Amino acid sequence: MANSDLLSAEIGWLSLDVDGVLTDGRLYYGLKGEEIKVFHARDGFAIKLWQQAGGDLLIVSGRHSDLVQRRAEELGIQHVYTGVEDKFKLVQEFCRQNRVRLSHVCHIGDDLPDLRLLKEVGLGICVSDGHPVLKAHADLVTTTRGGEGVLSEVVEKILTAQGLWDKLIQEMLKR
């Protein structure tokens, strides 16, 4: 299937890895062991646009983090799973409980813990600086690096393929 077909294939859910996708993947610690993560504001706006277009999201991170919870609250993301050992199993179960088809999910990841999930969902995306194996198995590799606005790129691509992007921009011009 061509990339444009995959992009428009009724994707209604974005499943997001955090480290290496919403951040650059580096783990920053302060002197007292407090964690610091750097998020890109453009990703935040892209999430708002995605929600405005009727899309939904879940966060699936392998690491426990209160910061992720806080950022998700800021962005109105209700479904947040951190400290996840098996991302595929979690999302599979999530889809079963919420009556979502895996084929309607797009997962964005950067590393091998994302591999199985990336293969099983409708659209598997890897960031440009992701693990070579993940890139090789992805339906799409972004031009953006992790933490530098990946979501901004992906949301525009999907909404464009679904024919919704221009309308959103036109609405913004009228405001």
Interaction site with Mg ion (CB under 5 A): 17, 19-20, 110-111
Q: CB of residue 27 vs Mg ion: minimum separation in angstroms?
A: 11
- Spatial CB neighbours of 2, under 8 Å, sequence gap ≥ 6: none
* CA 123 centroid distance within chain: 11
Q: CB of residue 70 vs Mg ion: minimum separation in angstroms?
A: 18
In whole angstroms, give the CA distance from residue 13 to residue 100: 8
Q: Which residue is nearest to Mg ion (CB)?
A: 20
Q: CB of residue 144 vs Mg ion: minimum separation in angstroms?
A: 15
Q: Other C-beta atoms within 10 Å of 52: how many?
A: 12
In whole angstroms, give the CA distance from residue 122 to residue 10: 9
Instruction: Kindly tell me which of 17 and 129 has the beta carbon lying closer to Mg ion.
Output: 17
Instruction: Kindly tell me which of 86 and 166 has the beta carbon lying closer to Mg ion.
Output: 86
In whole angstroms, give the CA distance from residue 84 to residue 107: 15
Instruction: Kindly tell me which of 75 and 108 has the beta carbon lying closer to Mg ion.
Output: 108
Q: CB of residue 151 vs Mg ion: minimum separation in angstroms?
A: 14
The one-letter code for the residue type at 149 is G
Q: CB of residue 31 vs Mg ion: minimum separation in angstroms?
A: 25
Instruction: Kindly tell me which of 114 and 161 has the beta carbon lying closer to Mg ion.
Output: 114
In whole angstroms, give the CA distance from residue 119 to residue 115: 6
Instruction: Kindly tell me which of 111 and 153 has the beta carbon lying closer to Mg ion.
Output: 111
Q: Is the dihedral angle over the CA atoms 43, 49, 51, 56 positive or is it negative?
A: negative
